[in-house]
């Protein structure tokens, strides 16, 4: 695997692939890699001649300085995992390379970012859009791979690509889970074994809510039930639990009919670690 820390040599390297008209698949990450990230690399490898992964903990998307300071860093292990899975290129820049000037640009995604994560993490999506714009300019990928785990982030990036006319196709890949249902996340490494067990409450609540919706319950009654479940488990706290329209993320009270797609989204704290998860409501769930 070729590893680059600087933009200029990376671009020169990628230029030669583009001359050979090799398609480039891109997987942006913040490292501390797990099977969720690797599934994106594998998807990219299936569909492109070259796959490039970036590992960069982007400071402008962290609204909580403690979360940034404690974000796990495992670069040596990440390099091993990427090599084993057959990633071709890794871009792992330092802050001074990505933010050589004080960032001034701000993005406003309107109603898409006033709900869910955006409501609780002010400025988060502006920081995401800024770093993804930089990375897309640097890498110019043909396809870019993201996880459904960060569903709202995917919607924001779709809007960004549409508005700025980035010539890239976006892929949204399924959530990889542990065998007990816990959605894989770099932040899980900050949890004790006991906390990990408690963290499965998020997914269990999504499944329960999906069944209750099928039985005709409304979101108001389901939310009350979910809140009471969280109150019964020590050391966990619910932040939001929503049913939303997958197109515009507007909150729904119930699923109107099979033709409109809906998604359940949850965020909560286990100890001081903030976790998110979601479940698309399809015929299977
Ligand atoms: P992150 O390193 O957390 O910024 O994540 C990098 C990419 O991996 C994002 O597109 C995430 O949505 C995706 N991702 C994170 N966790 C998972 C997971 N459990 N399954 C699938 N994709 C994931």
User: Where in the chain is CATH 3.40.50.620?
Assistant: 2-173
For the cut 80, the answer to whether the pLDDT of residue 284 exceeds it is: no
Active site (annotated) includes residue 137: no
Cβ-contact 40, 146 below 8 angstroms: yes
Task: Give residue for tokens 């300019």.
Answer: 137
Report how far residue 78's alpha carbon sits from residue 198's, in angstroms, rounded to the nearest whole number.
Answer: 27
Cβ-contact 85, 42 below 8 angstroms: yes
Is-above-0.85 flag for pTM?
yes
Alpha helices in the chain (DSSP H): 7-19, 35-47, 65-69, 75-85, 95-98, 116-120, 124-139, 151-164, 193-214, 219-232
For the cut 60, the answer to whether the pLDDT of residue 259 exceeds it is: no
CATH topology of domain 186-279: 3.30.1300
150-153 contact pairs (CB < 8 A, 24+): 150/276, 151/246, 151/263, 151/265, 151/278, 152/112, 152/113, 152/115, 152/116, 152/117, 152/118, 152/125, 152/249, 152/265, 153/117, 153/125, 153/128
For the cut 70, the answer to whether the pLDDT of residue 181 exceeds it is: yes
CATH class of 2-173: alpha beta
Report how far residue 29's alpha carbon sits from residue 44's, in angstroms, rounded to the nearest whole number.
Answer: 14
* Closest by CA position to 149, among listed 125, 175, 169: 175
Q: Is the CB of 39 within 6 Å of ligand 1?
A: yes
Would you state the structure tokens that stand for residue 50, as one six-digit string?
């070259």
| Ligand 1 midpoint to CA 266 (Å) | 16
User: Where in the chain is CATH 3.30.1300.10?
Assistant: 186-279
What pLDDT, on a 0 to 100 scale, did the predictor assign at position 19? 81
For the cut 80, the answer to whether the pLDDT of residue 243 exceeds it is: yes
Contacts with 232 (C-beta within 8 Å, 6 or more apart), sequence order: none
What pLDDT, on a 0 to 100 scale, did the predictor assign at position 285? 62
Write down the catalytic residue from 34, 37, 124, 137: 37
Among protein residues, the one whose CA lies closest to atom 5 of ligand 1: 29
| Ligand 1 midpoint to CA 1 (Å) | 21
Q: How confident is the model at residue 18 (pLDDT cuts 50, 70, 90)?
A: confident
Cβ-contact 236, 230 below 8 angstroms: yes
Q: Is the CB of 134 within 6 Å of ligand 1?
A: no
What pLDDT, on a 0 to 100 scale, did the predictor assign at position 260? 63
Q: Is the CB of 93 within 6 Å of ligand 1?
A: no
């Amino acid at each position: 695997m070729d590893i680059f820390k600087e933009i200029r040599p990376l671009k020169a390297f990628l230029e030669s692939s583009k001359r050979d008209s090799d398609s480039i698949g891109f997987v942006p990450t913040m490292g501390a890699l797990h099977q969720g990230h690797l599934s994106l690399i594998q998807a990219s490898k299936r569909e492109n001649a070259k796959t490039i992964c970036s590992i960069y903990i982007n400071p402008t998307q962290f609204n909580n300085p403690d979360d940034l300071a404690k974000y796990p860093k495992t670069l040596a292990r990440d390099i091993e995992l990427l090599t084993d899975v057959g990633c071709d290129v890794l871009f792992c820049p330092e802050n001074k390379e990505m933010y050589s000037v004080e960032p001034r640009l701000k993005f406003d995604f309107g109603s898409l970012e006033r709900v869910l994560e955006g409501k609780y993490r002010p400025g988060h999506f502006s920081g995401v859009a800024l770093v993804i714009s930089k990375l897309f300019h640097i890498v110019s990928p043909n396809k870019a791979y993201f996880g459904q785990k960060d569903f709202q982030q995917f919607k924001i990036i779709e809007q960004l690509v549409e508005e700025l006319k980035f010539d890239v196709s976006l892929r949204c890949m399924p959530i990889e889970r542990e065998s007990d249902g816990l959605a894989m996340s770099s932040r899980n490494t900050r949890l004790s074994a006991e906390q990990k067990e408690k963290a499965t409450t998020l997914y269990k609540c999504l499944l329960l809510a999906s069944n209750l919706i099928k039985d005709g319950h409304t979101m108001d009654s389901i939310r009350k039930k979910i809140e009471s479940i969280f109150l019964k488990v020590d050391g966990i706290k619910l932040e939001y639990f929503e049913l939303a329209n997958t197109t515009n993320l507007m909150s729904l009270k119930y699923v109107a009919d099979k033709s409109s797609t809906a998604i359940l989204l949850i965020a909560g704290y286990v100890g001081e670690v903030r976790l998110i998860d979601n479940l698309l409501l399809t015929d299977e769930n």
